Every structure is written in structure tokens, then in C-alpha cells.
Amino acid sequence: MNKSLDNLRRDAGFSGANAEYIDQLYEAFRDSPESVAPEWRSFFYGFEQGAGSNGAPGTVPTQPGVIADPLTGVERLIMAYRMLGHLHADIDPLGLTERPRPKELTPEYYGLDEQALAQEIDVVSIDAERPLPVTEVIDALERVYCSTVASEHMHISASDERRWIERRLESTRGYWADQHSAAVRIDTLRDLTAAEGLERFLHRRYVGQKRFSLEGGDSLIPLLDEIVQGGGQRGITDIVIGMAHRGRLNVLVNLLGKAPSELFSEFEGSHGSDQRSGSGDVKYHQGFYSNIQTPGGPVHLSLAFNPSHLEIVGPVIEGGCRARQDRHEEDATDLVLPVIVHGDAAFIGQGVVTETLNLSKTPAYGTGGTLHIVVNNQIGFTTSHPQEARSTLYCTEVAKLIQAPIFHVNADDPDAVLFVTRLALDYRRTFHNDVVIDLVCYRRQGHNEADEPMMTQPQMYHRIRNMDTTRTLYAKRLVEEGLIAATEPDKMAEAYRQSLEHGKVVVREFLHGSRTGYEAHWEQYLNARPGDMVNTQVPIDRLRELGERAIRVPDGFELQRGVAKVVEERHRMLAGEQPLDWGMAEILAYATLLKEGHAVRLSGQDSIRGTFAHRHAAYHDQNNFETHIPLTELFEGQPRFEVINSILSELAVLGFEYGYATSMPNTLVIWEAQFGDFANGAQMVIDQFIASGYLKWERLCQLTLFLPHGFEGQGPEHSSARLERFLQLCAELNMRVWVPTTPAQFFHLLRDQIKRRFRRPLVVMTPKSLLRHPLSKSSLDALSNGALAVVQPEIDDLESGRVRRVVLCSGKVYFDLLVERRERGADDIAIMRVEQLYPFPRRRLGELLSKYAKAQEIVWCQEEPRNQGAWYQIQHHLRVLTRDDQTLGYAGRAPSASPACGNAALHRMQQQALVEAALSDEPVEDPGERLDDTDEHHLNW
């Protein structure tokens, strides 16, 4: 890359993928000017002319054979406006940032004199009917690209998309108000009146209470209203909105139709006082569902519940939208629209935004384009200045990752805001790509209403407190234009205040009495009881029939040798010639659920094959690129089966799957971690949504997590799924935590999860080495005649009266204990597996323990360090179950700051030691009654 092109990229603000694209175009131009589009060709000629030997405008171009005629100069100037106009646009209502005019936006830079400017030229995007004087063209481009709208679209590689945007922008000549009827503009004033009126009302009535005011960003309300009304006009039936807390109360009341009286009761602390269970949540985290009438018919609106973790709601609403789209048999991307309202610092600062953008064009996660609205307060969060919050010119640079167009708009020009919103809706419908509206505004109050912003931004807030509000400015404009009488704005404000006083719904288009989508789809699960049992058995003939279809290989399809062996073994399993392994039991679970009308969606890294090459849900022909997924072709008209290799992300993908599960009750939705501890990367979704979503918001969810877990000497990061963290999150029947140890248990567990009406998330510590362990097998009969067992009893024929110790455990360590006990012939020690760790099966375990009336000890054995795993979370149950004449002991690893050791030899030694302790002749100590080395270190700190 030559130095002058580096300068071009820097001056034009090019970065990232955009810069790479410019580099490639320029290299192609140097090889063959005709190989690039005319607008780029003109621009590069102009660039080389401006970067001649002395860098002066008007020098002879370096490209041989090029004539520096006035027309070429005009073409280069037009291109410069499209590329650089945003750098000089009037998009900041505060006017705090100096935005100097780039030299490329002056006719003199291209050597254009008065005679050249007087010429008439054809610019179809501005006027398709007649040529225009160059001066008129420049005036139009100045208004289009350097007024209250700043367009960034030249980073888009698709020329048809760029030209489409240019035609839409330039055909207006920058007269944004002329694009709207008088009625629309008066409605816009009404929306601004509502936005401002609610905040002022709350400010007076609830002094000092947090509400995270929208003031300064009031144009968000007419913007969202245009999305709803304009979306309905364009055929959209469902809109799902995700946003953080700023402005949420305003959106709830003035867009979705939440009754002000309900909001007031939340401020006063009287709302939900009769709630019998659950924690509830603060008012500015609450979601809402409603139906709004539009010119195209009713539109169902959903505002997703969201914790204070800002952008984490993005992938959740994308998953909810994808689920709504998947309910339709035909392509429904034009029916369901995701809208995400971002904060400026959060949009660029939080990695989940980039992860979610990266999902947008992948087949299993795409939603046909998302409208991103950045409420750009120009303060990062509490006190941060923009230069402290990012390393880029704009907060929206990350959207260039997917070549989304970006429209920066001055929030104090509602006419421009409305125009850009319509442009975004049409772009999304036409090209099914994401689009970003950067609503450049300000924050009239502090971070919250108890915060004093003058402490940290005195200059900014001196200016803000002397500024008229957006509503005031717009009302003056409409009065001056004669659209309304001078008294009308005050009448609107008083009418809105009266509506608030009455507490009734203030959204005129709100459809009273209509059922929400959530109620309609989840009604049968709302009053289910946790103790209701379901039958998960499947007749053996049906298992064999479905199993054969689920592993069928098409004629002429050549499998890889190892996969062919797996398929051959699965045929023998179905014939009863060898026991079932985990992979086959899982395939049978999915096949039987599909037959019974339940869809299945499984996603994760390497989930199609399986991280441990155990699933093989898809076959890949060795001679071509064909792929066959047998579970998608079991029978005609079957429910949807999806198995997905996800992007290399945990946070956004798990958020997406949570959103999908909460919107698709009849689908078994599964997210699988490559190794269980990879769930660490999605802890925010686990804590804020999966574990607490029902208790906070009463959102039902049947999402299942597969977390490979087991200590096989693979080191700290490939051993533990952090079982202790999930158990710590468990309370009030919020989810189930399982550690199944046989394929049959896994089969019944998956079927139980979707067939039971009491819907809660399920966390499964799935196996690794057990996938092929010779003792961890099951028969077909266990699937057809067996049942799900929360505790697995002793399987060997022991004389119960001789048993002196009962060892309790979960997971893989059971087989280590079983093998060692059999080798020793220790028939005085019984071993039982607790498969469901939450809710803890105290009653069932007590029944099984009562069989061993002469047992003197109960020992809990686990592979995990004592401060991890299940011990600390379940020991209170074990102490209740221990008789007065019995002792309770612990056999396992000592407390550790790391999940597991990284040395294979040390791992084997530790594993053998804990097995030895559990089976020893000596009493096993209760760690609560002794001081170990770790405790000594603690005391000596």
C-alpha cells in the first residue's frame, strides 16, 4: 500500500473491513480502471490527481491517458460527498464537537471554476428527468450529506445497495420535512409531547426516584412509533424490541400502551404486593406485550424483559424473533422484525454486540435484518466522555463488520429522524440486512435522577440547561410554517397531562382486550405442577422402526470409514445384538419426540458431529459436498429438527437459544458447550435469564444445557462444568440439575424435559469418557420399559444386612468406585448414584437408605475439589438423612483454587486416593469436623 492511499484512508475515516475493501478496490483500479464501478473509478482518478507530485489540486493525474476535464472533477466531488459528507454533517444538537469541512468537499480541490460550476450535468439519483447545473447539484448534496443526516454506506461492497441508498437520499435533495404530510408531522409533535410530558409528570410526582429519563432523546418515541405504524403498513405482524433501562418507562407507556396507573403503582411500591412467589424486578427492567392497530392491520409488540446488563438482551430478542419466524411454514422474515435500542458506549463497548452482529447472516441464527437504534447521549455511561469510551470516530463502527449502512441523525430534527426511519425499514425489507440509526442526542438529567451531572460535565450541562427541548423546537417550527395554531402545542401538553392523571392507556392505537402471543402459546403450561409425572417409555417396535430411519444412509452415499463403523454398530444395537451407547440413545430420544409432534433444536460448537465424535447427526459424503441429516427425513410433515454448528461464541449463542426457547414452547431447545466450563463465557445469560427469569418476570423456559463434565486428566479447563455454580443458583424450583450416568437415563431425561407441562430450564452434566465406557451402556428394554430415576440404587446383589457403609456419588466417579469395589470383593459397601442434584431427591434417597439399617456410615464421594462440585450445596440434605447412630463423611479432592490439576500422573494419583478413601476400612471423616492443610494456610495468612 503506498503512503498516499494510507493518507486517503486516514483522512476519510476508513478503518477495519472498510479499509481492506478500499485497498482491494484501489489495487484493482491500478491494474485495470475499467474493472471498478464508475463512481469508484472517478474517485480514484481524483485521489491520484490530488496526490500528484506536489499534492496540489489540479495537477496532471498519474494515471496515463486520463484527461483532467471539469466533468471528471464534478464526478469526483459527488463521490467525495457520498464518502466524506458525514464528517461535516450537523448531527450534534449540542454543537460541542467541531466538524471541519474536509478539503475534498470543495470545488476548488478539483480545479472547478465558475464556468465548470455553471455547466449542466445528469445526476439521475437527484433528478431522473433533466440535467442540473453543477451548483444546484452541490447544493443538494450539501443538504443531503452535510445537514442533520450523515450517511455511511460507502463501505458496503454491494453496488446495488449503495446506489439504492444514494437514490433514496439524493432524490429528496435534503428537504426532510417535505417527505412527510402535515398530518404525520402533527402526529410527530404529539409523540414528542407524550415523551416529554411523561418525564415531566414523573419528575414532579416522584421526586428523586430513579426512572432513567429519556429527556434529550425524546425523538426515540416518534422513531419507534414510525417503526410500528410503518412496519404494519409494510406487512410486518410482529415486532420484538430489546432495550436497556434508559427511556424504557417512556417506551412502555407511550409506545406499547402500558397503563400509567400501573406504572404509578410501581413507583409507589403497591404493584404486585399480593405476589405469592418470585422476586419480581425493578420497573425499568420490565417487559410488556401488546397489540397495536396500524394501517396494515394489528401488530403484536413485545418489549423483552432485560436486566441492567444492557446489551445482553440483543441475542435474546434475536432468538425470540427467529422462533416466531420458524412458526410459519413459509419465509417469515418480512413478517417479524427485531429492533434493538442501544446505548452509544455500550454498542461499541460490549462484546456481545459484535457477537450478535456476527450471528446475523449465519443460516441458523439469521432473522432477515435487525433495526439497531443507538440512543447516542454522547456520555458513555455515568461520567465518561466519548474519547474515554471508544477508540473510533463513531460508536457505530462495529456495524461495518457486516456491512450494515449507518445513518447518523440529529435528534433535534424529528423530520430527519422520521425520514431515516422509513429509509431503514425499506432497506431492511429490500436487502434483509441489519441497518443502524445513530440517534445523536443528549441526556438532560444525570445518569439517574439523583445524579448531579455538573460534577463531571459542567460545560455540557451549562449548554443543555439553556437549550429548548426537542418538542419546543419542533412546535415552533410547525407554528412558523402555519401547520398548527400557536396555542395548539400547549393544548396537546395539557390533554396528555390529563390522560396521565386519569391513569388510562394513552396510546390511541392500543387494542384493548386482545390476547398477547405469550399467553396464547404458553397457556397450557402456566398452572402446571412440579410433581406431575410423565410417561417417557416408547414401545420397542417403534424404537426399532424410528431408529432405523434415524440412521439410514442414502443409496450411493459414501461414508468415512469411522462413521460407517458407527452406523454399523447402531444397526446391531437396534437388533439387540449389543447394548446402546449414549449417541444412539440420544438419536432415539430425538426421533421419538419428533414422532410425537415435538420439534428439536440443538446448537453448539461441533454439535453436529459431537465434540467427542459421538453424535454423528449428519453424514458427509466422501466424494462430494453432500450432507445428509437422517432426523430431518423421518416421515412426511414431521416437526422441525435442527442441529447446528454454532459460531465460536458462548454468550450470544446461549442468549439466542434462551430467547428461542421462551418463544417456542413445543420445541426441545438445547445448547451444548464444547466443554462444560465453556459456559463461563455465557455466565451472564445463565445468571440473569436462565436461573432467575421465571422468578423475576414469570417467563417460562424449557431450555436445556449440555455441559460435558468429568475428571479424566485433561487439566483445569477441560474437566469441570462448574457444577457448584449451578447448584448455588438453584432455589424455588427454578431449574433442574442432572448428572445422568447411563444412556437410558439420558433418553428418558430428554423426553421428560419436553413432555412435562411444568417447564423449567434443565442443566445436564453430560459425559465425556463415559460415552464409550463399557459399563455405561443400556438395553433397548430400558428405553421401552424403564423410567427416569432421580436416584440409581445399588445394582449388585449385596446382602443389605451386611452393608456397613453407603457411598453416595454422582457422575463418572461411580464407575471408578464400582470397578474398584468389585475387584476388592467389598460386599459390605453399597454404592448409589444421585442423578438429580436439584431439586434434591431427599425423600427417594431416604427410602433407599432405609434398606441398609445396619450401615454405620454414609459417605459422599466426588471427583471435584471439596469447595467445588456438589458437596457444599447438598451436605445439609445428607445430614438430615444421616441417623443419630451414623456418621457422614467426605471422600474427594481437597479444596483447590483450580478446578483440576494439569498433570496426568497427579490426576491419576488423586483419583485413586479419593476412590481408596471411599472404599477404605477406616472411617471416613466429616470435613466439617477437622482442620486440613488448606484451613491451616487460611489461619496463617
Nearest to 164 by CA among 282, 61, 82: 82
More confident residue, 530 or 589: 589
How far is 369 from 404, CA to CA, in rounded Å? 9
Q: Which residue matches cell numbers 457422575?
A: 811
Helix, strand or coil, per DSSP, at residue 242: strand
Q: Which helix (H) or strand (E) holds 545?
A: helix 540-550
- Cβ neighbours of 177 (radius 10 Å): 17
pLDDT class for 13, splitting at 50, 70, 90?
very low
The Cα angle at residue 318 between residues 425 and 18, in degrees rounded to 5: 65
Q: Is 913 exposed, middle or buried (0-12, 13-18, 19+ CB in 10 A)?
A: middle
Phi then psi for 274, rounded to 5 degrees?
Answer: -95, 10
CA distances from 536 to 680, 748, 783, 817 (A): 32, 6, 8, 29
CA distances (Å), origin 510, targets 195, 229, 260, 926: 17, 12, 13, 63
592 CB neighbour count, 10 Å cutoff: 24
pLDDT value, residue 389: 83
Quick check: 778 and 578 in contact, CB under 8 A? no
The answer to whether 191 and 254 have CB atoms below 8 angstroms apart is yes
Residue 280 has pLDDT above 90, yes or no: no
Q: Report whether pLDDT(223) > 50.
A: yes
Spatial separation of the C-alpha atoms in residues 821 and 775, rounded to whole Å = 14
What pLDDT score was predicted for residue 550?
Answer: 98
Return the higher-pLDDT residue of 270 and 475.
Answer: 475
DSSP assignment letter at 924: P
pLDDT digits (tens, 9 = 90+) for 441-492: 999 887 776 777 888 888 888 888 999 999 999 999 999 999 999 999 999 9
Pair 316, 340: CB distance under 8 Å: no
Beta-bridged to residue 436, according to DSSP, are 372, 406
> For residue 11, is pLDDT > 90?
no
Write the CA distances from 281 to 212, 759, 878, integer angstroms: 15, 21, 34
Per-residue pLDDT at 559:
95
Looking at residue 388, its pLDDT comes to 82
Describe the crossing of helices 16-31 and 3-12 by its angle, rounded to 10 degrees: 140
Burial label, 120 (beta-carbon count in 10 A; 0-12, 13-18, 19+):
exposed
Ordered alpha helix ranges (H), 360-396: 386-389
Taking a C-beta distance cutoff of 8 angstroms, is the pair 316, 243 a contact?
A: no
Average confidence score pLDDT of the chain = 90
276 has pLDDT over 50: no
Q: Is a pLDDT exceeding 80 seen at residue 428?
A: yes
What's the chain's Rg over C-alpha atoms?
A: 33
CA distance 340 to 729: 29
- Identify the top-confidence range among 199-213, 448-462, 696-710, 918-932: 696-710
What pLDDT was estimated at residue 358? 97
Determine which of 692-701, 748-757, 793-802, 929-938 has the lowest per-residue pLDDT on average. Answer: 929-938
Chain segment 370-406, per-residue pLDDT in tens: 999 999 999 877 767 777 888 999 999 999 999 999 9
Q: How far apart are CA 744 and CA 538, in angstroms?
A: 12
Q: Cα-flanking dihedrals φ and ψ of residue 242, to 5°?
A: -120, 135
Tens-digit pLDDT profile for residues 34-83: 777 766 776 676 555 544 433 333 333 333 333 356 788 899 999 999 99
Across the range 763-788, mean pLDDT stands at 97
Specify the pLDDT at position 282. Answer: 74
Of 31-40, 407-416, 567-576, 691-700, the least confident? 31-40
Measured CA angle at 675 (ends 670, 677), to 5 deg: 100
d(CA 385, CA 576): 69
Contact (Cβ atoms closer than 8 angstroms) between residue 572 and residue 650: no
Mean pLDDT in residue range 863-877: 96
Cell of 920: 477404605
Among the ranges 15-24, 114-123, 500-509, 586-595, which has the highest mean pLDDT value? 586-595
Cβ atoms of 380 and 345 closer than 8 Å: yes
Query: Which residues contact residue 235 at a Cβ distance below 8 angstroms, ignoring those fewer than 6 apart?
Result: 296, 334, 335
pLDDT at residue 140 in the model: 97
Q: Confidence class of residue 310 from pLDDT cuts 50, 70 and 90?
A: confident
Which pLDDT score, from 0 to 100, does residue 383 have?
67
Share of the chain above pLDDT 90, in %: 77
Share of the chain above pLDDT 70, in %: 91
Counting every residue written for the chain, the total comes to: 941
Which residue bears the cell 420397542? 540
**Cα 467 from Cα 138, distance rounded (Å):** 32
Q: End-to-end alpha-carbon separation of the chain, Å? A: 58
Task: Give 646's Cβ-side CA count (13 Å radius).
Answer: 26
Does the structure show a pLDDT above 90 at 891? Answer: yes
935, containing H or E segment = helix 933-939
The confidence score (pLDDT) of residue 1 equals 42
Cell of 750: 430428554
pLDDT at position 935 over 90:
no
Who wins on pLDDT, 598 or 42? 598
pLDDT at 410 over 50: yes
Query: Residues with Cβ < 8 Å from 918, sequence gap 6 or more?
Result: 807, 809, 817, 859, 861, 891, 924
Mean pLDDT, residues 579-600: 98
User: Please, which residues have CB within 8 angstroms of residue 540's CB and are 6 or more apart in sequence?
Assistant: 780, 781, 783, 784
